[in-house]
Amino acid sequence: MSPLLRSAGESGPSVQGPVAELGRDQALAVLFRTHCADLVRLGFALTGDRGAAEEAVQDAFLSLHRNWRSLRDRSAMHAYLRATVVNRCRSVHRDRAHRPVVVAPLRPELVTQPGADADVLTHEESLRIAEQVRTLPQRQREVVVCRFYLDLSERQTAELLQVSVGSVKKHASRALSALHDRMEVAQ
């Protein structure tokens, strides 16, 4: 983790000390270098569309830039960006009902390095799971991405998605059940 970040308990990473005290342009530059790739991966996980993910991230940074003076807690800038990306991705799903979308794959430099589970899941299986997650209803997909991709707690997921913890539990359970059923049928 970057020395500019710290754990903020259940709220996830936030900007601390010197970065929170920087001017708008400098702080945004640091945030962009530190979080842009992760935010694009989040957007891609929610939309399955590289262009839409990059646009959501760009919109999030523009929004933070525009609302800089009214930002109450500058230590929560990363959380603000992440919540804005989630909300912009929700808008993408609403907009898709009105226009066709061409889905572009995620650029190689934004793909995460294999994790500790690389021995268990092959690349092909990971792609199959990602395809199945994208077919879930929007709220279930959001919960799965937050809980298992971002590794957020139920409470953190509820706060980010602005729903109750019970709703997170319900949608996670339904999503995992649907994924389990679909993955067994596909085998």
Q: Per-residue pLDDT tens for 140-164? A: 999 999 998 888 899 999 999 999 9
CATH tag for 1-112 (out of 1.10.10.10, 3.40.50.300, 1.10.1740.10, 3.40.630.30): 1.10.1740.10
Quick one: three-class SS letters along 106-129?
A: CCHHHCCCCCHHHHCCCHHHHHHH
Q: Residues 156, 8: contact at Cβ < 8 Å?
A: no
CATH 1.10.10.10 domain extents, the chain = 114-187
81: helix, strand or coil: helix
Q: Is the pLDDT of residue 173 over 90?
A: yes
Give the domain 114-187 fold.
Arc Repressor Mutant, subunit A (1.10.10)
Q: Pairing between strand 13-15 and 5-7?
A: antiparallel
What secondary structure letter does DSSP report for 69? G
Q: How far apart are CA 70 and CA 77, in angstroms?
A: 12
Query: Global pTM?
Result: 0.65
How does pLDDT run across 46-59, given as a tens digit for each residue? 888 888 899 999 99
What are the start-end ranges of the H helices in the chain? 17-21, 24-47, 50-66, 77-96, 123-134, 138-144, 154-161, 165-186
Is residue 42 within 8 Å of 85, Cβ to Cβ? yes
Where in the chain do CATH 1.10.1740.10 domains reside?
A: 1-112
